[in-house]
Amino acid sequence: MNMKKTTFAILALALLMSACVKPDPEQEPKRFSILGDSYSTYAGFVHPETNDLYHYENIGLTGPEQMWWAQVIESTGWTLERNNSFSGSLMCNYDYVNYYGPHSFIRRMDDLGNPEVIFIFGATNDACANDEGEPLVALGDYVYSDWTEEQLNDFRPALAYIFDYLKAHYPNAKLYFLLDMNLGTGGVTEHRRNEFLTSIHHIAYHYGVECIDLIGIHKQQWHPDVKGHQDIAEQVIDYLASGSH
């Protein structure tokens, strides 16, 4: 058995063992889907399989069981319904390099299966700095209905549109936005970062979507490494177990 097959076999065994753990009567196992970017990709565990991946082996991850979502599965006994994550993707449709715009969150959100929970983990690339130190995409206005195609090129209208669509098309699913509180790479200013963070909280509140604010994620090459994925998983698991939601 080669290394890749061995890794997949280990994860499959871990998932099988987690399914045998008696669930907390207050927290029955659930099916969850992920709508995400590179923070959630791993070879063999994205849908569709053609989605672009981030190569986590370059920063020390040796298997999919180290990903944040695999650790959530191990802790909760939940089942991964579908992981529609695409490395480099934007929340909005702005096509800044004639490639990632067609793979935006908006254009993939209709393909999440039949989940009971949806984790939206994004804004990572929207808030990245361009050569002038400004975010790649404009914030735009707060728009909550009758969106135009032009408005969906901006962050705020796009995020509202995403939440609106998910709530309408997955009415039985609980939505959580996983928010990296240190958004923005490549030199984006603290002021611009805070504008994105405030916008996400504001729009999430409008739609009744809960934000899980992720603090102090350890990273290499702007991505969560082994410790970073542990940081994410622990904070997600703690939030789910807190009962505050």
Say how many CA atoms lie within 13 Å of 205 toward its Cβ.
7
Is 29 inside any structural domain?
A: no
Domain count along the chain = 1
Which structure tokens are listed for 244? 């505050």
Range of the domain at 122: 37-242
Among residues 116, 209, 219, 210, which one has the least CA distance to residue 170? 116
Q: pTM of the entire structure?
A: 0.86
- pLDDT tens, residue order, the chain (245 aa): 443 333 333 343 343 333 333 334 345 779 999 999 999 999 999 999 999 999 999 999 999 999 999 999 999 999 999 999 999 999 999 866 656 678 999 999 999 999 999 999 999 989 887 767 777 889 999 999 999 999 999 999 999 999 999 999 999 999 999 999 988 766 778 888 899 999 999 999 999 999 999 999 999 888 999 999 999 999 999 999 986 55
Is 7 inside any structural domain?
A: no
- Written as one letter, the residue type at 7 is T
CATH of the domain at 182: 3.40.50.1110
Is 110 inside any structural domain?
A: yes
Is 186 inside any structural domain?
A: yes
Is 52 inside any structural domain?
A: yes
Is 26 inside any structural domain?
A: no
Question: What pLDDT was estimated at residue 98?
Answer: 58
Among residues 190, 179, 214, which one has the least CA distance to residue 129? 190
Is 8 inside any structural domain?
A: no
